[in-house]
Amino acid sequence: MATLKHPIQEAERYLENAKTILSEKAEKDGDYYNDSEYVKMAGNTAWNGVLVALDAVLNIKSGLKKNQRPEFKDYQEAMSKKDSKMTRPLLSAYESLHKTLDYDGNLRYKIVQDSLLQAKLIINWCGKNYQS
């Protein structure tokens, strides 16, 4: 039987997996990556890590059906109640990881790396605010 992982460690694992995808598959060439498919995959993986961490801290479950994911606005509202200073970093992580990388596959190295830093910032915040 597999043991359940600490949700923040699980979120960090997602982020590390995103970095591995980029380093092993996306083929960096100067200031850009060559393969948008892997940039998109890395963005999606990192964003899912952020969601794992947020789910552990913000506890947004009321009113949702079983296995239904909260909408981003639900995360924003819960974050504004928990720590209003983190609403901008959360929005930035959402826009950079989910929209710019996952949907658009932006290939610019600096944008990708900044997006991963936003994910790390949110996950670290969640780690400091996590109560088991």
Supply the pLDDT for residue 4: 53
Residue 28 β-bridge partners: 33
Q: Decide if 90 is inside a domain.
A: yes
Q: Decide if 119 is inside a domain.
A: yes
Buried b (16+ CB within 10 A) or exposed e, 68-105: eebeeebbeebbeeeeeebbebbebbbebbbebbbeeb
- CATH no. for residue 82? 1.20.120.330
For residue 60, how far is the Cα from the chain centroid?
Answer: 16
Give the residue among 122, 34, 30 at the shortest CA–CA distance from 85: 122
Q: Decide if 65 is inside a domain.
A: no
Regions of the chain with pLDDT less than 50 = 1-2
Tell me the residue range of the domain where 41 lies. Answer: 7-59+72-129
pLDDT digits (tens, 9 = 90+) for 47-68: 999 999 999 999 887 666 777 7
Q: Rounded to whole angstroms, how far apart are CA atoms 104 and 98?
A: 9
